[in-house]
A and B are shown apart, each in its own frame.
Chain A
Amino acid sequence: MENTEIELHNIKKAFADGSKKVQVLNGISAKVGKGTLLTIVGPSGSGKSTILSLCNLLQTPDDGEIYVNKLEVRKWDVQELRRYVGIAFQSAPMTKGTVLENLSLPLKLRGKALENPETYLEYVGLSAELLSREAKELSGGQRQRLSLARTLVNNPSVLLLDEVTSALDTKASQGIEELIQRINKERSVTILWVTHDLSQAERVGDETWLIKDGQLVEGAPTKQFFSEPKDERTKDFLNLLRSSL
């Protein structure tokens, strides 16, 4: 791949569960091209979210290397890496304070002031009137939009999305989907989106991966992934989920 943004090379990661060691990722190798919107699907506990937190070093792999923009993550300046690779969490956590305080946080951490907060809010579809509101009082959908706007303040080249619509209703979820697609197209941001919603993965993705038992079972262009899956485990996974709908 010419324009590789992220490269995973034989990634392994285990967690301790009491005295037991649980192998969450077991030798994942793959590449994500610049500007790609990648959707990652798989059963609960398969290691999808762990992949995200390894890409901006919120966790460290036990084995293997992860290259972001051709530089191994442990060779980056950690803070610079985390600004280059932004993340939005499922719970859209907010700090105490107003929408403006939360939106300004990334620049405040660098000792700078945010000069055009309204522009960011408008971009994510929030009214500038919300700036003085307590961030924790916002609805789920509004919080998720604010969380995305806050991440965009750092102007990231990569955006990691961890189940960002799973707690939202259909309407709010669709709004966030459209917003993320816009961020991907207009800002050429590479997106790694973990979702449990197969139809969402099919709708928005350029490429899709299936992660199962800590392994990358299949990675393919999204259309091909859903219409002509090659691996038997992918076919089983898709059939199982479709039959349960």
Chain B
Amino acid sequence: MNLTAIIFSFVFVILALFLSNAFRLGLGKDIIITCIRATIQLFIVGYILKFVFGFDHPFVIILMLLIMILVAAKNAAQRGKEIPYAFWKIFLTIAVVEIITQGFLLGLKIVPAEPQYIISISGMIIGNSMIIANLFLNRLKAEIEMRREEIELVLSLGGSVKQSIFPILKQSIRASLIPTIEGQKTIGLVQLPGMMTGQIIAGADPIQAVKFQLLIVFLIMSAATLTAIILGFLIYPSLFNKEQQLEVF
């Protein structure tokens, strides 16, 4: 893809701006900022990846992964800023999910231990975990606000903190996984996944692209489940104080 093609792709931005203006949606500023940010961020990432792939040193790869996890945790922690240590609990969750999934991938030699595989796949895992953490915290907050009386009832009857929050935790974990499960049900029927499309455009054999995409689908499914469950169990004790009273939200 040459520079002229990239410049022409801005036609789509102009179309979005025109529509926003025509229907007075008031999104013009957001569209411009989003496009500028996306362009700058992607080019920066492109150059960083080029450097990391060229360097090919485990320390650089680990550093890159740490930065990705930190940014993801910081983003998701916005949803749970009322919860003590939310950032560190999300960071730990995503790091554990990354270690488990990459451990399987590399340990079983499903993908080669090369930076372009490790970083690209990690990007998908970490990004997906970040979205799941966001969805989970959002739902948890809403459920607690709605069912506070139920929590206090169980506590007042001599139930433990875990017993009082468990049904809500389960509901929040389930709800945060629904978009992933629903999205994957229609995969290939409604939309072609980005990675598969990219591989096909780059000239790869579609069957080979499908095999890789399947790996990613399964990986994301398990990473999402792991994220919601690990985060749920790490987060809930922080919602209560030492006298077993619901303190957050």
Contact = CB atoms under 8 A, between A and B. Distances in A.
Contacts of B156: 56, 58, 82, 86-87, 89
A240 interface: no
Contact of A58 (B150, B152, B160): B152
Given A79-B160, A109-B159, A109-B163, A57 B243 contact: yes
Interface in A56-92: 56-60, 74, 78-80, 82-83, 86-87, 89, 91
21 contacts: A57-B245, A58-B156, A58-B245, A60-B241, A60-B245, A78-B243, A79-B160, A80-B158, A83-B157, A83-B158, A89-B153, A91-B149, A93-B149, A93-B150, A93-B152, A105-B154, A109-B158, A109-B163, A151-B157, A154-B157, A154-B158
A59 B158 CA distance: 14
A151 to B, nearest CB: 7
Given A58-B152, A91-B149, A93-B150, A105 B157 contact: yes
B154 A60 contact: no
B243 A109 contact: no
B177 interface: no
B199 interface: no
Most chain B CB inside 10 Å of its own CB: which residue of A59, A79, A86: A79
Contacts of B160: 79, 109
A93 B148 CA distance: 10
A57 B167 CA distance: 23
A93 B157 contact: no
Contact of B245 (A59, A89, A150): A59
B111 interface: no
Nearest to A77: B158
Interface in B142-181: 149-150, 152-160, 163, 167
A93 B241 CA distance: 23
Interface residues on A, range: 20 to 34
By Cβ-Cβ distance, the 4 closest A-B pairs, closest first, are: A83-B158, A109-B159, A93-B149, A82-B158
Contacts of A74: 243
Contacts of B149: 89, 91, 93
Contacts of B197: none
Contacts of A132: none
Interface string B120-161: 000000000000000000000000000001101111111110
A74 B245 CA distance: 12
B213 interface: no
A44 interface: no
Contacts of A79: 158-160, 244
Contacts of B243: 57, 60, 74, 78
A109 B241 CA distance: 20
A110 interface: yes
A19 B167 CA distance: 33
Contacts of A89: 149, 153, 156
A95 B150 contact: yes
Interface in A88-131: 89, 91, 93, 95, 105-106, 109-110
Given A58-B152, A93-B150, A95-B150, A150 B157 contact: yes
